Amino acid sequence: MVTVTTVLAVLGAYLLGAIPTSVWIGKAVYGIDIREHGSGNAGASNTFRILGVKAGIPVLVFDLFKGFLAVKIVGLFHMFIPGTTAYINFQIILGAAAVLGHVFPIYVGFKGGKGVATLMGLVLAIHTPSALIAAGIFVVMLLLSKYVSLSSMIAGLSFPVMLIGIFQETVNSLIIFSIVISIALLFTHQQNIERLLKREESKANLFRRRRKRNL
């Protein structure tokens, strides 16, 4: 049932997701707008690429937290019973609002990131086992390839596979959502895919100090 309170909750989830972590850290600590460098995206991937691990880790963690906390707003509503379809559906709506906020943040002119970390946060809150495995896949792929974009896509594609094949999820809305976000990840990473095929994709600056000449 749609009420003023539920609408406000969705709006709150959007505003939470819209917090531009990488932009604010980039400007406050390094004196740059992360969106003017690298891929031009305001997310953890570009932060790792341009500013390195010291900036990338806090951005990644906070962006994860945004999606996770947005989904947990459902706990404030006693009308939704945990484990029910209605409960899961509202979780998905709240998480989607947070991701939308990350991609189109109202605080910095609606120019944000691709929402991968925030998406991982909401998945962690909705289906923790699948999210943890996907996170593990992401880390392994990142260490092996150094490509954040490739690691993100593979981890995202693994989510519906695990949900359906391993955990045998029966809630249709969650299954559909998992497939949609996997396809969406491929769509939002089209330019990355092209650069990967041309071997022009930048690798993440994981273990090197940021150098001004890279900016």
Taking the C-alpha atoms of residue 128 and residue 91, their distance in angstroms, rounded to an integer, is: 13
The tens digit of pLDDT for each residue in 142-183 reads 889 988 889 989 998 999 999 999 999 989 999 999 999 889
From the list 108, 97, 123, the residue with the least C-alpha distance to 16 is 97
Q: Any idea what DSSP says for residue 203?
A: P
Q: Are 178 and 157 in contact (CB under 8 A)?
A: no
Taking the C-alpha atoms of residue 95 and residue 38, their distance in angstroms, rounded to an integer, is: 27
Write out the two tokens for 152. Answer: 């993100």
The tens digit of pLDDT for each residue in 69-106 reads 999 999 999 889 998 999 999 999 999 999 999 999 99
In angstroms, how far is the first alpha carbon of the chain from the final one? 50
Task: Give residue 213's pLDDT band: very low, low, confident or very high (50, 70, 90).
Answer: very low
- Average pLDDT, rounded, for the chain: 89
Comparing 24-28, 49-53, 154-158, the range with the smallest average pLDDT is 49-53
Comparing 9-13, 27-31, 61-65, 209-213, the range with the smallest average pLDDT is 209-213
